[in-house]
Amino acid sequence: METGRTLAFLGLGLVAEAIINLLVRGFYALHDSKTPVVVGSVTVLINICLSLIFIFFIPAWERPVWGLALAVAIADTIYALVLIFLLNRRVNHFDPVTLLVPAIKIITAAALTGISLYIPMKLLDQLVFDTTRTVPLIMLTGIVSLIGLSVYLFITWILQIDELRSFLGLFGRITKIFSVAEEKVESTISEAVTEIESKP
């Protein structure tokens, strides 16, 4: 239970981390490296203060391990929100539709995917697999992950999320690179074989 809660809060922090990476690049593109550093330093202090609160101001028998993960998630979220606010002022305001609609779609897809993961995981865990053993646990993880990925891709297709097209385009380019590399390797091998056969 403690491990699950810790991972859940760290997962929330990952969302903010991904946003922060994009926003920091935005400030760098504006030749402003000072703002992310200053805001980041303040949020590090916030993270430290929250961590100390969770460590020293909660009774020893109740101190949750996930409290430290929650402190990181809160600090990262504050960092991301402050950077969004400041960058919004620097570029004379984002288009709210362009900014919010894709985010709402992605959050909706993620929430529905989470539900689709939780239900089969609980059912299969209780009725089919003995997850006290390694092999059934790996099988359960693989099946549930496949279900979750399928549901997520289907929902992103239904909601017409542009990032799905970008992902599929990237996958297509990677496939093309491998096919070109395979053709070059086959051509090189064929030339080498021809050269060997032509020698007396």
pLDDT tens column, 159-171 = 877 766 776 676 6
Give the rounded percent of residues in the chain with a pLDDT score beyond 70.
76
For the chain, domain boundaries: 1-93, 95-160, 161-200
For 199, phi then psi, to 5°, come to: -75, 140
Distance in angstroms (rounded) separating the CA atoms of residues 125 and 200: 68
**How many CA atoms, within 13 angstroms, populate the side-chain half-sphere of residue 66?**
13
User: CA 59, CA 57: separation in Å to the nearest integer?
Assistant: 7
Percent of the chain surpassing pLDDT 90:
13
pLDDT of residue 185: 65
Range 77-83 average pLDDT: 92
Query: Using CA atoms, how far apart are residues 143 and 149, in angstroms rounded to an integer?
Result: 10
pLDDT at 92: 80
pLDDT band at 130 (very low <50, low <70, confident <90, very high): low
Per-residue model confidence (pLDDT) at position 197: 61
Higher pLDDT, 101 or 190: 101
Q: pLDDT grade, residue 147 (50/70/90)?
A: confident
